[in-house]
Amino acid sequence: MPKIEKWEKKVSWIVSICLGFVVFVTAYLILWRTPLFDEYIFFSVVIVTFPPAVLDYVDYRWKKSIDEHLPDLFRSIVQAQQTGMTLPQALEEASKRHYGSLTGELRKMVAQMSWGVPFEKACQSLSQRVDTTLTRRTVPLIVEASRTGGQIEKVFDPMGKFIQSTLTLNKERQTQIRPYLAIIYVAFFVFLVTIILLFKTFFIQMADIPIMGLAILTPEEARRIFFHMSIIQAFFSGLVAGKMGEGTMSAGLKHSVILLACGYIAFKFMM
pLDDT tens digit at each of 271 positions of the chain? 678 888 898 999 999 999 999 999 999 898 887 878 888 989 999 999 999 999 999 998 998 888 888 888 888 888 887 777 777 788 888 888 888 888 888 888 888 888 888 888 888 888 888 888 888 888 888 888 777 766 676 777 788 888 888 888 888 888 899 899 999 999 999 999 999 998 888 877 776 666 544 556 778 888 889 999 999 999 999 999 998 888 888 889 999 999 999 999 998 887 7
Q: Cα dist. 136→52, 127, 168, 189 in Å?
A: 25, 6, 18, 40
d(CA 105, CA 5): 13
pLDDT at 208: 64
Report which residue type is found at 53. Answer: A
The whole-model pTM stands at: 0.83
d(CA 128, CA 113): 16
pLDDT at 87: 78
Task: Please state, as a whole number, how many other Cβ atoms lie within 10 Å of the Cβ of residue 21.
Answer: 13
* Residues whose CB falls within 8 Å of the CB of residue 171, separated by 6 or more in sequence, listed in order: none
pLDDT at 166: 87
Number of H helices and number of E strands within the chain?
Answer: 10, 0
Residue 142's closest CA among 117, 116, 160? 160
Q: At what angle do helices 119-130 and 133-148 cross, to 10 degrees?
A: 170
